[in-house]
Structure 1
Amino acid sequence: MRAFVRLSSEGEGFVPPSANDFVLPPIFENISWFTKPILLVFLSVVIISVFFILSSRKAAVVPSKMQFAGESVYGFIRDGLAKDVLGPEFMRFVPYLFTLFTFVLVNNLFGIVPLLQFPSFSRVGFAYALAIITYLVYHYVGMKRQGVGHYLKGIAFMPGVPKPIYVLLTPIEIATFFIVRPFTLGLRLFANMFAGHLLLLVFILGGEHLLQGVIGLKLVSPFAFTMGIALTFFEFMVQCLQAYIFTLLTALYIAGSLADEH
């Protein structure tokens, strides 16, 4: 305890990371909207496009390593997700689901890439932008497949339910389809990326600050850095999982819209 008091009295003390660390200044002073998250989103589009163009440019029966990697990701979404969830019509939605998965995954992985080290979806606006697109897609698909009236009726009045129950069930179903789903879809992605990045900042910046303290604190700093490294590997798993979950939920919502009964 005395060591911490001494450290605070000798310097400014450790200022823990907060939400303010996610508000980044513009890259160019005269372009206020062009911040690091915006740059990373553009960069992700370039990386994804270049990778899959190169991996499919010289496709062969015996694939190269790059072609194999590209086909593996595509096959994972097509066969391991879209086909199982959406059934016979799955190929119509593979391009969207494949694009969605790779876009979310690359932007999430930016959080642990040296020099970049910022997950784009730790900014809530990006997460909700994708959630709104998914929201529009699955409602459009449902209305086109079933007709606007039949689709909305299926949401508001679930078949096979006693009529008095509609007084309670109908508002819940309407709120679920039009409010809760897009809200939770974006919030889940944002919250995981925000919390994970904040934890990494706490341990890495904390370890760096401990190195500047008295000898007792210097001895503790390796443990903070070790924890930061362990959390980096854990965050990698979370980033991949969240990209999969976001895509899986999108596929499930679309499958529900295609079904005759919601």
Structure 2
Amino acid sequence: MLVRLVVMAAMILFLWLAVRKAKVVPGRLQGFLEMGLDFVRVQIVEQTLGKERAKPFVGMFTVIFFTILFMNLAGIIPFLNVAGTSRIGMPLVLALWVFVTYLVVGVRRHGGGTYFKAQLVPAGVPGWMLPIIVPIEALQLFVIRPLTLALRLVANMMAGHILLVLTFVGTHTLLFYSEAAMVPVGALTFVSGFAATLFEIFVAGLQAFVFTLLSAVYLNFSLEESH
């Protein structure tokens, strides 16, 4: 929780510094932020939902993307060294936010009966199969979608954290507590630790993108006339 609070404070500070003197011709920090905002708006939300349907949801998905990205990057920050998303609490809260949103949006757009019928009863399924299909579709709608969103994120970030711990603890042990013959191996694990750090940066961005993209896809399912 302390890491999460520190990361949220850092993110708010970054956003404030970037926009406090916003200009038509942006400086480096403002330009970097606008590039990120445009990426979420254009490459994720508008590409998935369409330009017009995306407008009400750009803010939500921007918050989700940047929150996950900053929380993920905490895993490689010295003295923090753990991603805020490597424990289930925050991924689960974000997944539940997406879950409630796509249910509410679907019911508002189509009406409760029409929406849940479209989601739970696939077109063309014989009546005798409905007792089997409907529970499966309900499980997917109410459990699998939000749960897999949360678990995918927490599993990837936890795995990255464990990998970094193993490489750097292994380096420390091999360099300071092993026989002289093992020192070259310690140097190798030290280099591997930096490679793992670079990979973790890539994974941090990728998981923020994947979570946001899948959330937009699930919301798009609720907005479509047929599924």
TM-score (norm 2): 0.95
- Kindly indicate whether structure 1 or structure 2 has the higher relative contact order, using CA contacts under 8 Å at least 6 residues apart: 2
- Shift, 1:59, TM fit: 2.1
Aligned to 2:109: 145
Residue 235 of structure 1 aligns to a residue whose secondary structure is helix
Match of 2:164 in 1: 200
Separation in 1, partners of 2:115, 2:4 = 35
Q: Which amino acid aligns with 1:72?
A: M
Structure 2 residue 35 is matched with structure 1 residue 72:
yes
Which of 203, 210, 226 is the matching residue for 1:238?
Answer: 203
Query: For 1:70-149, what aligned pairs fall within 5 Å after superposition?
Result: 70-87=33-50, 88-149=52-113
Q: Secondary structure at the match of 1:121?
A: coil
Counterparts of 1:41 and 1:142 in 2: how far apart (Å)?
A: 32
Residue 228 of structure 1 is matched in structure 2 by: 193
CA deviations on 1:118-150 (whole Å, 9 max, x unpaired) are 111111222212111111111111111111111
**Which among 27, 51, 61 is matched to residue 24 of structure 2?**
61
1 CA distance for matches of 2:23 and 2:89? 41
Choose the corresponding residue for 1:180, options 106, 120, 144: 144
Deviation readout 1:203-233 (Å, 9 max, x if unpaired): 1101101111111122211011111111111
Please list every run of at least 4 consecutive aligned residues from structure 1 whose deviation after the TM superposition is greater than 6 angstroms.
none
1:186 deviates by: 0.4
What amino acid does structure 2 have at the position aligned with 1:261? S
The C-alpha deviation readout for 1:29-63, integer Å capped at 9, x for no partner, is xxxxxxxxx12222222222222222222222211
Whether the 8 Å CA contact 1:158–1:261 is kept in 2: the answer is no
C-alpha distance in structure 2 between counterparts of 1:186 and 1:200, whole Å: 22
For residue 7 of structure 2, the aligned residue among 44, 53, 70 is 44
> Which runs of no fewer than 5 residues in structure 1 stay unpaired?
1-37
Larger radius of gyration: 1
Aligned-partner Cα distance in 2 for 1:41–1:86: 30
Secondary structure of the residue aligned to 2:123 is coil
Q: Secondary structure at the match of 1:228?
A: helix
SS in 1 for 2:226: coil
Unaligned ranges ≥5, structure 2 = none
Identity of aligned residues (%): 37
The one-letter code sitting in structure 2 at the alignment partner of 1:43 is V
